[in-house]
A and B are shown apart, each in its own frame.
Chain A
Amino acid sequence: MNFKRTFSVTAVLLLIGAAGLFAQDNRALDLMKQAHLNLYYAGDDGIAEVKMTIVNSKGKERQREFAMLRLDLEDGGRQDYYTYFRQPSDVSRLTFMVHKMPDASDNRWLYVPSVDLVKRISADDKNSSFVGSDFTYEDVSGRHWSEDNHKLLREDTYNGRPVYVVESIPKESYKGFARKVTIIDKEYILPVREEYYDKKDKLERVFTVEKIESIDGIQTPTLRKIENVQKNQYTTVEFTNIDYNVNVKENVFTERFLKNPPREFIK
């Protein structure tokens, strides 16, 4: 009798708890999805000049400058990128194109001007470095929210602004991280800080948004930084001349334009 009662009380409590957890999970998932769309799918397309600074543990800097053109074919889904390198000068005119596929490996092409050659490059490893920086390809194009289990840890304030704190754990064991904590600005629903923890649950990388500007009414992080705290090195990217909804056509993202950049967008 006693046992039965204890059992049923426990069962009820567990159910309530699970429901609460479930509800919170849904909320976390929604937040992560919205934040992803706000960060990676702003507008229908976009263009920007990007200045990337890679700083190694000895404090030595390397610069990269490129123009970046983006077209979203489906929000949260298929997306095309076109990158035209300006600096360092010995790689200027080198172009790079990505067709981001939601459920498959991306397609990537590269044009090498010195030998006038277009080469496809493999995208098997999303966790590899993007042009030698601390950003991975995944950091640049985003990790789909459905790949992780999310949990809303708490609501908090960060840099004086109210935020959500969400924890994400990959559904399948993943080389990139074992656990991620994302701080999402409540007002903009934009990730402002991400902490990546390794297998040993040691902090490995920290992504931060250093500056947000409103461009065409869209809240846009214009200065981003990623720091590898274990290697003691970081990379910053600064976006300028940002323009949204410039009406770029899908045919720009083809091999033909690799050799001859679309002059209406890239001067």
Chain B
Amino acid sequence: MKKFLTEFSINHPWLVIVGMVLVTVFFAAQLPNIKIDTDPENMLEADEPARVFDHQVKEEFSLYDFIAVGVVDEKGAFNKQLLTDVYRIMEEVAEIDGVIADDILAPSMVEDIKQTDGVLTVKTLLAEEPKSDEEARYILGRIKDNPILRGKLASDDGKAIAMFIPIESKNMSHRIAGEIQEIIDRHSHGEQYFIAGLPVAEDSFGAEMFKQMAVSAPLAGLIIFLLMLLFFRNFKIVLAPMIVAVVSVIWAMGLLIFTGHTVHIMSSMIPIFLIPIAVLNSIHIISEFHDRYQKHKHKKTTIRNTISELFIPILFTTITTIVGFLSLALTPIPPVRVFGIFVAFGILVAWFLSVTFNPAFAVLMSDKTLRNFGKTEDERGPLSRIMHFFRDFNRRYYKGVIFGAGVVVVIAAVGLSLIVVNDNPVKWFKQNHPLRVADRILNQHLAGTYMNYLVFDGHDEDAMKNPEVLHYIENMQRHLEKNRIVGATTGVTDIVKKIRYELYNADPAKFALPDNQDEVAQDLFLFEISGGNPDDLFKFITEDYAKANLWVQLKEGDNQSVVSVVDAAKNYLAENPPPVAIDVNWAGLPYVNVVWQEKMVGGMRSALLSSFAVVFIMMIFLFRSVLLGFISMLPLSITIMAIYGAIGFIGKPYDMPVAVLSSLTLGLSIDFAIHFIKRTKYIHERTGDFKQTYPEIFEGLARAISRNVLVIAIGFVPMFFSSLVPYITVGSFFFAIMMVSGAVTMLLLPSIFIMMRKRLLPDATVVKDNVVENVAKS
């Protein structure tokens, strides 16, 4: 097959190029149909129980995702001017398309239950603009005296005012947050307003990510192009791998869109993953072509020989990388599956083009263009000098290198044990991003911007009017509130207590749950007959009183923190059986995030292990030796251990991007080992003498590997400066994978070969000397 593909391409270059252009035009025509999906919830299958339950709870209690808005004034936020601003801002915010105006939590939008002179009143807390500072301070007092509002609308010290703005759909939050900001800018008098909340973080991340993509992928491509130009000093030749990269991106994305998939956060990263991988093979080919051309001075011969020597290694590195990404198809996370499958497809395209288009393109080049190609004194260039240093270093210290690798493995194992699995979409933004700042400040002042819901299902009508059940819920609240990150819990219990307290003329002794079921029912009825909005009540209890919804407000959205609260509830349930049969389950965005995260971690682990096994078997087959197969797995194993060990030591949480990158690490790291071992064997077949083989490894082969390392690693350096943390992570990973696996390959493999030279590269091999090259020439 390899002969056929290459021969065909060399003999019919225009056919290959025209064919490629036609297919590319077809796929490019699909790109305008792109449908974007930035909802992280879609990380879960549509029928995932946790997600279904979350939707059901939101539907049942008419709950919506919130945008949190806050204003902080260290001198005290409850003054006439600031509260007037807030009043006017909310009047306009309520009109924004997509805002659920009836459910806004803000001083001018919520009802307060109070009794004055023996008259019970349920009315809007701040019905009109405050007339004085005293009135503003009175409002603060009312908020603090109302367990339903406390910590939500104001900080207890009165330095912050907050508003929670429910929205129809998460996908609107970035736009709505922008409109809110615009309204704030028109009304504020220079105070600091903050906009936070998970939906905004998630949706804004999606919006910002696509902008980043438009910059990052082309920028990486440009730098890779410039670096190749620097190495090979021939614009036209270097153009070929770039064309291969761009075309494979267009095919992959075109097919993805053509097959009706949405472009999710994950799939938006396909170009950035594909470009370097696509370029890799081409660099090997050009590098080899570059090193040989001046020897043969004949285009077609050079191409034939180059492809002939590289076909098998390139095929295998391609398949291993594809295996790495295809393993993602085993994860339980749909967008990750789509990502894995289409990256794999793109890699296949890139391989196909590099063995067809590359030769075709090279044949069409005039001999004039190539006259000086490869003439640079590579054997004495800086890259060669570094490689020669490696050569001599290994020769002298090969035992030390092997020992060092062992030490690295041990240290990395310690680091691995320190890895903390954690994620928080808000932290996908950098520390100083306005959303991060808002998150920090609001959660410092208020009861929290992360809303989870704990639903008690008593199955029977009126089950939640049972005083024993209410006491049980109240005790659960006190138990959860012991957790540092639980800012407040609010339930029907609090409404009953508040009504009772006001009914008895604000008698603190009556701020407690009644022991009689009729009294519970009548207290709640009192709320409704006093003009309380029933919609407010039914956010905490269902109309048939069978289920209660406890709002659990968290100050942190880190999965670890959320899990600690979930565990606290679990423990409470285990130690305190409910008085009647009750199902207790969680809902809410932070909880849903925890669920998909756990699936992601588990899914990634099995994906990594299974692709590791597949690659190992492939290597044994490729090298026809268990020993060589084992040795070839060392660089990638050490690279993965070193990188993930470092993550453990640094304390960087194992989050979504880190998890996905493990398969990339595997797919890329194995490449160098394959090239190294396969081509070392070729060299040795030719020389038959380890003394000659060994130095030659550090010529063309080493240069190709080191060029690859530098081109890809440096190509991703600009991503270090991205405003989004996952992009920094991806960029750093590419950099680290290249550097570490390149170094391990060039240090450890030669050292092992030296140590085991009798076994791996025995001198007794019959010298085939130039047979291959002679055949090719004729």
Docked-complex contact B462 and A90, CB < 8 angstroms: yes
B7 to chain A, nearest CB (A): 70
Partner of B516, one of A94, A114, A231: A114
Produce 1/0 per residue, A83-126, CB < 8 A to B: 00000101100101000000000000010111101011110110
In the complex, given contacts A60-B544, A121-B119, what are 8 additional A-B residue pairs having Cβ atoms less than 8 angstroms apart? A88-B521, A90-B518, A91-B525, A120-B118, A120-B120, A128-B532, A129-B534, A131-B525
Docked-complex contact B531 and A125, CB < 8 angstroms: yes
The answer for the CA separation of A114 and B465 in the assembled complex, in Å, is 14
B533 at the interface (CB under 8 A from A): yes
Docked-complex contact A131 and B518, CB < 8 angstroms: no
Partner of B119, one of A91, A96, A115, A120: A120
Docked-complex contact A90 and B522, CB < 8 angstroms: yes
A227 to chain B, nearest CB (A): 16
Produce 1/0 per residue, B100-111, CB < 8 A to A: 001000000000
Docked-complex contact A137 and B531, CB < 8 angstroms: yes
B377 at the interface (CB under 8 A from A): no
Chain A residue contacts of B519, Cβ below 8 A: 114-115
B538 to chain A, nearest CB (A): 8
The answer for the CA separation of A152 and B383 in the assembled complex, in Å, is 93
Partner of B529, one of A62, A110, A117: A110
Docked-complex contact B525 and A124, CB < 8 angstroms: no
A161 at the interface (CB under 8 A from B): no
Docked-complex contact A94 and B525, CB < 8 angstroms: yes
11 A-B pairs with C-beta separation under 8 A: A62-B543, A91-B525, A94-B522, A110-B530, A114-B519, A115-B503, A115-B519, A122-B119, A122-B121, A129-B532, A231-B102
A58 at the interface (CB under 8 A from B): yes
The answer for the CA separation of A128 and B532 in the assembled complex, in Å, is 7
A222 at the interface (CB under 8 A from B): no
Select from chain A the residue with minimum beta-carbon distance to B111: A128
Given contacts A122-B121, A122-B123, A128-B533, contact A90 B521 (CB under 8 A): yes
Residues facing B in A1-30 (CB within 8 A) are none
Produce 1/0 per residue, B449-477, CB < 8 A to A: 00000000000001001000000000000
Given contacts A62-B543, A112-B522, contact A131 B528 (CB under 8 A): yes
Partner of B503, one of A54, A113, A119, A132: A119
A56 at the interface (CB under 8 A from B): yes
A201 to chain B, nearest CB (A): 14
Chain A residue contacts of B514, Cβ below 8 A: 114
B122 at the interface (CB under 8 A from A): yes
Residues facing A in B518-563 (CB within 8 A) are 518-519, 521-522, 525-526, 528-534, 537-538, 542-544
Chain B residue contacts of A112, Cβ below 8 A: 503, 522, 526
Chain A residue contacts of B59, Cβ below 8 A: 58
Residue among B118, B123, B525, B537 with max Cβ neighbours from chain A (10 Å): B525
Docked-complex contact A117 and B503, CB < 8 angstroms: yes
B517 at the interface (CB under 8 A from A): yes
Given contacts A58-B59, A122-B123, contact A91 B522 (CB under 8 A): yes
Chain A residue contacts of B518, Cβ below 8 A: 90-91, 113-114
B157 to chain A, nearest CB (A): 31
The answer for the CA separation of A88 and B518 in the assembled complex, in Å, is 10
Select from chain B the residue with minimum beta-carbon distance to A123: B531
Docked-complex contact B526 and A110, CB < 8 angstroms: yes
Docked-complex contact B465 and A90, CB < 8 angstroms: yes
- Residues of chain A at the chain B interface (Cβ within 8 Å): 54, 56, 58, 60, 62, 88, 90-91, 94, 96, 110, 112-115, 117, 119-122, 124-125, 128-132, 137, 231
Docked-complex contact A124 and B123, CB < 8 angstroms: yes
B513 to chain A, nearest CB (A): 13
- Residues of chain B at the chain A interface (Cβ within 8 Å): 59-60, 102, 115, 118-124, 462, 465, 503-504, 514, 516-519, 521-522, 525-526, 528-534, 537-538, 542-544
A213 to chain B, nearest CB (A): 28
The answer for the CA separation of A112 and B118 in the assembled complex, in Å, is 14
In the A-B complex, list the 6 residue pairs whose CB atoms are closest, starting with the nearest. A128-B531, A122-B121, A90-B521, A132-B528, A132-B534, A114-B519
Chain B residue contacts of A120, Cβ below 8 A: 118-120
Select from chain B the residue with minimum beta-carbon distance to A107: B119
Docked-complex contact B530 and A122, CB < 8 angstroms: yes
The answer for the CA separation of A137 and B348 in the assembled complex, in Å, is 71
Chain B residue contacts of A58, Cβ below 8 A: 59-60
Given contacts A90-B517, A119-B120, contact A129 B533 (CB under 8 A): yes
Partner of A56, one of B124, B533, B543: B543
The answer for the CA separation of A122 and B119 in the assembled complex, in Å, is 6
Select from chain A the residue with minimum beta-carbon distance to B535: A231
Chain A residue contacts of B531, Cβ below 8 A: 121-122, 125, 128-129, 137
Docked-complex contact B529 and A121, CB < 8 angstroms: yes
Given contacts A62-B543, A90-B518, contact A96 B529 (CB under 8 A): yes
B711 to chain A, nearest CB (A): 59
The answer for the CA separation of A141 and B156 in the assembled complex, in Å, is 41
The answer for the CA separation of A182 and B102 in the assembled complex, in Å, is 26
Docked-complex contact B525 and A125, CB < 8 angstroms: no
Select from chain A the residue with minimum beta-carbon distance to B500: A115
Select from chain A the residue with minimum beta-carbon distance to B465: A90
Chain B residue contacts of A129, Cβ below 8 A: 528, 531-534
The answer for the CA separation of A54 and B525 in the assembled complex, in Å, is 14
The answer for the CA separation of A119 and B505 in the assembled complex, in Å, is 10
Select from chain A the residue with minimum beta-carbon distance to B462: A90
Docked-complex contact A113 and B522, CB < 8 angstroms: yes
Chain B residue contacts of A60, Cβ below 8 A: 542-544
Select from chain B the residue with minimum beta-carbon distance to A96: B529
Select from chain B the residue with minimum beta-carbon distance to A122: B121
The answer for the CA separation of A114 and B514 in the assembled complex, in Å, is 10
The answer for the CA separation of A212 and B102 in the assembled complex, in Å, is 34
Residue among A54, A91, A96 with max Cβ neighbours from chain B (10 Å): A91
The answer for the CA separation of A58 and B532 in the assembled complex, in Å, is 21
Select from chain A the residue with minimum beta-carbon distance to B502: A119
Residue among B118, B121, B504, B542 with max Cβ neighbours from chain A (10 Å): B121
The answer for the CA separation of A96 and B529 in the assembled complex, in Å, is 9
A226 to chain B, nearest CB (A): 14
The answer for the CA separation of A125 and B516 in the assembled complex, in Å, is 31
B129 to chain A, nearest CB (A): 15
Chain A residue contacts of B465, Cβ below 8 A: 90
The answer for the CA separation of A54 and B534 in the assembled complex, in Å, is 11
The answer for the CA separation of A231 and B538 in the assembled complex, in Å, is 14
Residue among A56, A90, A114, A131 with max Cβ neighbours from chain B (10 Å): A90
The answer for the CA separation of A231 and B122 in the assembled complex, in Å, is 22
Docked-complex contact B462 and A121, CB < 8 angstroms: no
A112 to chain B, nearest CB (A): 5
Residue among A56, A58, A110, A128 with max Cβ neighbours from chain B (10 Å): A128
Select from chain A the residue with minimum beta-carbon distance to B527: A132
Select from chain A the residue with minimum beta-carbon distance to B542: A60
The answer for the CA separation of A125 and B514 in the assembled complex, in Å, is 29
A228 to chain B, nearest CB (A): 10
Chain B residue contacts of A94, Cβ below 8 A: 522, 525
Select from chain A the residue with minimum beta-carbon distance to B531: A128
Docked-complex contact A122 and B120, CB < 8 angstroms: yes
The answer for the CA separation of A236 and B418 in the assembled complex, in Å, is 63
Docked-complex contact A131 and B120, CB < 8 angstroms: no
B505 to chain A, nearest CB (A): 9
The answer for the CA separation of A91 and B517 in the assembled complex, in Å, is 10
Docked-complex contact A128 and B122, CB < 8 angstroms: yes
Chain A residue contacts of B526, Cβ below 8 A: 110, 112, 119
The answer for the CA separation of A124 and B531 in the assembled complex, in Å, is 10
Docked-complex contact A131 and B529, CB < 8 angstroms: yes
A104 to chain B, nearest CB (A): 14
A57 to chain B, nearest CB (A): 8
Chain A residue contacts of B521, Cβ below 8 A: 88, 90-91, 114
Chain B residue contacts of A119, Cβ below 8 A: 115, 118, 120, 503, 526
Residue among B59, B115, B119 with max Cβ neighbours from chain A (10 Å): B119
Chain B residue contacts of A56, Cβ below 8 A: 538, 543
The answer for the CA separation of A125 and B375 in the assembled complex, in Å, is 91
Select from chain A the residue with minimum beta-carbon distance to B115: A119
